[in-house]
Structures are given as C-alpha cells and as structure tokens.
Structure 1
C-alpha cells in the first residue's frame, strides 16, 4: 500500500529507536493520518484572520454562529457550543478527562501516557481501535462472557475473529484460561480485550487477579509477541466490594513492556450517567514511549475519527466540561454511586434471605457495574426469558445461556419482586 506522506511520517515515529508499535497496527492503521495539510489544517492557519472563508459553518454578521432561536432557547448554552469540535476533541475537555483519569487512578500520576482523543462514545472508541489494530482474519482474544456488540464491531465490521477463553473459575476470573488463549494464538500479534466491570456479569478482577493478568500479558510481550491490550472501562469506578481492584488495568500495563501497547477506552456514558451524550475517549501508553510517539498515536486516532464521523458532538462536550468543572460534581457523582451500591447490597440480602433460590438458579460472580447474571437450573435460558415477559411482566436479557439482570434500571423497591418472579418462573417451568 502506498501511504500518504503524513502517514509515513507518523509511521516513522512509531518505528523509531526500535519501537515496535507500527507492527501492531492494521494496514488501515498504518495508512491513517490526521490531515494537517487539508481543510482542517488550512482552516487552523487562517484562524484569527480578518476575513476567514475556510470552514463550512454559517455565521451571523457579528461573527457569532447562525443559530435557530427555537433550538437555542431549549439549551442554556452559549452559541459557540453549536460549532464543530476538533476531531481530536475539545482541548479543555481532553485536559479535564486526563486529569480525572489520574484522580481516579492515582498511580497514573507517575506514568507517561497520551492525551485522550475524543470519540462519539465508547462503542465508537472500540470501533476506532478495531480500525487501527485489526485486519481481516486477525484474532481478538476476549473472555467468553462478553458484550454482544463486540461481534458487530470486530467480526462484522472488521472481518476479525473473536477467540474466547473461559471467564470464571472457582468464583473468580480465570487467569489460567487467559494465559492458555494467548499461548494458543498462532500470531505474534496478540490483541486482547478486557472489560472491567464486565458486561454482562458485573465482575471486576480482584487486585490479586489484576496483578496476575498484568503479569501474563507482560510475559507474553517479553517472549517477543506484540501485545495490544484494549481496555473497555465503560463502567469504571462502580465497584462495590473490598479487595476488588480500584484502578484500571491501564495503570499496570501502560509502562509494562516495550512490546505491550495499552489502549484505554473509556468515557462518561455509564460512570457519569449521560448515555445519550455520545462522548468517549481513547488513550495510549507503552514502556519507553516518547512524546512524539504518543502524539503519533493521537494523530492516527484523530484521523480515524475524522475519516469516520468528522468529530464528536460539540454540545455534549461543552456540557460535560462544565459538569467536570462544577464544585458539585464529586458529591453528586457519589450520591448516584450510592443508589447503585444500595441496590447491589439489597440483591445480596435477597439471596441470603431466600436459600431456596439456589434450587432455581446460580448467581454468577458479581462485585461491580450495572449488571449481574444468573445461571438457570434445569430450564432453557431463552425460554425462561420469554416466559418472564409473558407471564410475569419481567424483562431480562439472555446471553450465553445466562440471564442478565440490569439492577441499575430496576427501582430499589422492585428488586425483591424481580428475583421472586425469576424463581417462581423457573419452578413453574420445571413443573
């Protein structure tokens, strides 16, 4: 493939001084670049000119955005919020999110990693990662209990192949299965996706398990493999038990080895309860990374965004930035966390108060997030899901033979009834 000179320049940075990150990129990842000499670059050069006829926006004669009053009156925002955001994202929001990442993961304060690039929510960040790192036929290694949208993103859209390994063993994360899956992969490029708290199970690795996961991936990289660790941190921070790792795996992997590229995929969607805002982030890090190399990865990520959606919503970014800068942000976030933690605690109390439930279903390991899963005993999970809707007016999700319960969406006073309905339904089906 003939690469654009701008892509060639980025690729040169990613292979300089023995860096192997270029070998981790897909063909499209190698070819992508941010068009600094195109419309956006030329527009940036003209910024501040007395007459600026570069960017495709519409302005009033006073220079303010030309906006419909009926749209403006529904939003308590300045007119500037209606303009395009950069493909890299609002620079103030990028800075604020990096600062929040460090605050939420204090160990990151001593580590070097890229500035986050803004995407149109976390699914788009995952899709961009697929674009950058996966060619058709490449494998992406994922636990066998995973969010089904990964299939659309990686297999249908990229032509990659999902290879799964056993998620749980003895009530915890099966680190041995992860190690075996890496060993079984015939490629020397290992793309691994880990999602904590996990969707669908609501499980986060314990601190001991997190250390072991990092050790396994680092040893795989030290053996000469190129390891790309995609970390889906959609539900980050929603941890309800002691002993569970409080920091992202990104902390342990961001400077673990020269052959290991850590890619943090996160955003406010779930952890800040703004599902419809559609804002996410991509951050990169590897041992020995230079500022120029991290900037090259940012450019490739921003080029991927530019070539796909141009940029993420400006209004959402403005609102989020204002929220993050609000003195009330931390307290209000803690209050919402308490709501979910209370529901989680009530579920544990319900199971303790109803030992008979064990005859109908087995709760899967859960300690965090929005969800938990149960494994029905003696009945088909899909038939159970359908009967719960028909006879008990109770909606759940069936995934991989399990029933996923989004306790995040169930009023606190209805949690007891929810599991009572599931128990009664299983008993009725067995009868």
Structure 2
C-alpha cells in the first residue's frame, strides 16, 4: 500500500481473533495433508439436529422467506426467545426486549457500541473470551481485566472487582459457564456481583451462550432470576450456536431493557439489517423444541470432559481445575515453560511459544492463554471426536514425556 493509504487507528488497535487464527492455521495444515488434531475452535463437532435442518429446508421453498424481515427479527422468533427466557432462565421478558443478531458476536459488539462513550471502562473478569476486550476497544471504551488464576478456581472475588472500579466504570461482563475455563459461577457470587452493580449503577452484561452445557449437577446462574431488581440494568447475550450445534447458521440475540433493545435495532439497521430469514426459521424450530437432543450432546461432552481431564492429570507440570460447564479445559502450563520439553528439547518462554511448538512438532492445535488474558495457560476445546481427543492427548503426553 502507498504511504497515504493508512487505515484507522481504531482497527489498528484491535488484535485478530486468536481462536480463529489457530483454527485457520490448523485447517490450512490439514489442507496440505498434515494430520492435525485441533483443540482450537469452540465448535461442536455434531451436525445440526435433523429436525432443525429439515425445517430450514422447507423454509427455503417458501417464497415468504425470500424477503427482508423486521430488523430486530421475526416477530414469532422474538416471542419464542421471550418464552424460552421464561422457560430456561425463570423470569418473564417481552418480545420488544429481544433483538435477533447475526450470531452471538454481533450481540456483543452492538451492546458496547450502545453503552459506551470514549473513556468508559468495562470490568472483564479474566480469563476472558478473547473478543471481549476488542469489542470494548472498538467502542472507544477501556477494558479493565481482573485476573483470577487456577489457584482461585478462576473465580473473581468481589474485593478484586471493587478494587478495579472507578468513576468511569460503566459495565461488567459475566460469562458463566465460562469460555475459556469451563468454570460455572455459583448463585451467591452472581447475586453479590449483581447487588454491587446496583449499588454503583453499573450495567451487567451476562453472556449465557453455554447455559445448557453443565456437568456434575452444576447449573447456570441467571442474574435476571436471582436478582429481579437488576433487570433494568441487565443485558443478556445468547444464541443457538453452542446449544444446538448451529455455529454456521449465525443466529444470536440480545435481551435487554426496551430502550437498549430499540437502540440495538437502530444500530443494526445501519449494519446488517435482519438475520437471514431461513436461519431465523431454523432457530425458531430449535428454540421451541424439547431439549432431548441438546441433553444427548451434553452427555457426550461430559464423557469427553472426563477423558481430557484424566489425560491432563497425568502430565507433570500441568494443573487444570475441573471444568463444570461449556466444552473447554484450561490448564495452567507454567510447569512446562523455561525448560526443555519434547524430543527436540524445545524451551518455551511463554504459553504462545508452547502452543506454537505443540502445533509444529506433534501437530496438535491449542490456543495460548495470552489470547484470554491468562499467560501461562492453554485452552483445549473438547468439542471434537472421541478418537481425535484420545489421539491428541496421547501425542501431548508422549511429547511431554509421560
């Protein structure tokens, strides 16, 4: 590019998505014939359930679905999301509070475009999903990470959150079950954070995309049900991607106070307008159906969780709190750094170095903790086949010298 062909400082300040970068590199290596086992992307390996795909196929043949829908979504889908919120989350919302978005990421992006002015701060408990700080930055805000390590079970403390609060704090993000750690926060912690947010007039942004993926009796804590008085300053983000194995269909949503939902619709009208009509029809079918297939997928993920935890527990220098939700293991790998590892005696100074070495030497893809505000960790997604999981862990164990 010529010297005058500069890009905006805004886009230069944003890092690429680390998870997508790792996934893309793994796929490129596979395309070259390399036998890569990828623990990178958070994407269920199951196909979308047949009954959902059939509904979409039928919708394709109906000319009514070949047109624009209202920007905020099909009225019947918004009603179904409101009904689903009552069914699953335990409290009532109106369809006018729902905005259907092009995947969960758009709901996250729009939330901070709506809430933030330049200089506003957002407290982000870390480890965090890699895109949270970037969407805050794109909105002119300032991300304020608050780290809790494996020794604390990756759970934030109210004291640490209060220490991070300033007069410019506008919002806090809650993500439970968590990406990348798989941790499920307990009801008391969520209530305490909610009361603190009410006291200090802080918006609570609750990302509930993994709500139906919990194990060992753990359950998703819904702030809107636990603390009804919080609802006027609560924005809930969700979607069909993880629950129904529908990552490619690109249907997410926001549930928010009516003025926020109206603002999101206004913004979306200038960005993408509506989500694809056929995808909305598929999501409508998914949301209204019983959760039988969701539970079946959850049982499979639960077995894989046990398998990956058993494998990681045998690796010296690796410590991994047991995940109670989502489909990620997030081990602390500092014990593998700054010493020779593997047949080549590779010395990794950082978890980014370690992830690069594992991909190059044994063709196993994992995402380094730096992407999640947690250097010294790796994220392994166990949303892959049983055979690939077993082979990938076998390679990792052999490489470390188990």
Q: 1:346: how far off?
A: 2.1
C-alpha change, 1:80 and 1:404, in structure 2 (3 Å) is same
Q: After the TM superposition, which residues 130-149 of structure 1 pair with which residues of structure 2 at under 5 Å, given as runs?
A: 130-149=112-131
- Tell me which of 391, 394, 410 is aligned to 2:364: 394
Equivalent residues of 1:360, 1:426 under 8 A apart: no
Q: Structure 2: which 5+ residue stretches go unaligned? A: 1-55, 338-347
Could you give the per-residue CA deviations for residues 257-290 of structure 1, whole angstroms, max 9, x where no partner exists? 8xx6111011111111111111111112xxxxxx
C-alpha change, 1:123 and 1:240, in structure 2 (3 Å) is same
User: How far apart, CA to CA, are the structure 2 residues paired with 1:131 and 1:142?
Assistant: 16
| Matching residue of 2:134 | 152
| Matching residue of 1:346 | 307
Bigger CA drift: 95-104 or 226-235? 95-104
SS of 1:186 mapped into structure 2: coil
Equivalent residues of 2:120, 2:142 under 8 A apart: yes
User: How far apart, CA to CA, are the structure 2 residues paired with 1:173 and 1:251?
Assistant: 24
Equivalent residues of 1:361, 1:423 under 8 A apart: no
C-alpha change, 1:82 and 1:167, in structure 2 (3 Å) is farther
Please say which structure displays the higher CA radius of gyration.
1
User: How far apart, CA to CA, are the structure 2 residues paired with 1:324 and 1:197?
Assistant: 20
User: How far apart, CA to CA, are the structure 2 residues paired with 1:364 and 1:113?
Assistant: 39
SS of 1:316 mapped into structure 2: helix
- Tell me which of 143, 146, 168 is aligned to 1:162: 143
User: How far apart, CA to CA, are the structure 2 residues paired with 1:346 and 1:73?
Assistant: 36
Q: 1:220: how far off?
A: 4.4
User: How far apart, CA to CA, are the structure 2 residues paired with 1:323 and 1:78?
Assistant: 19
| Matching residue of 2:65 | 81
- Tell me which of 286, 289, 293 is aligned to 1:323: 286
Query: Whose relative contact order is higher, 1 or 2, with alpha carbons under 8 Å and at least 6 apart?
Result: 2
Equivalent residues of 2:118, 2:140 under 8 A apart: yes
| Matching residue of 1:368 | 325
Q: What is the TM-score of this pair, normalised by structure 2? A: 0.75
Pair 1:261-2:233 in alignment: yes
Q: After the TM superposition, which residues 78-227 of structure 1 pair with which residues of structure 2 at under 5 Å, given as runs?
A: 78-105=62-89, 107-109=90-92, 115-155=97-137, 157-168=138-149, 170-176=151-157, 178-187=158-167, 189-205=169-185, 207=186, 210-222=187-199, 225-227=200-202
SS of 1:374 mapped into structure 2: coil
Equivalent residues of 1:113, 1:254 under 8 A apart: no
Could you give the per-residue CA deviations for residues 74-102 of structure 1, whole angstroms, max 9, x where no partner exists? 97531111111111211101111121222
User: How far apart, CA to CA, are the structure 1 residues paired with 2:133 and 2:123?
Assistant: 12
User: How far apart, CA to CA, are the structure 2 residues paired with 1:169 and 1:254?
Assistant: 31
- Tell me which of 312, 330, 341 is aligned to 2:275: 312
SS of 1:204 mapped into structure 2: coil
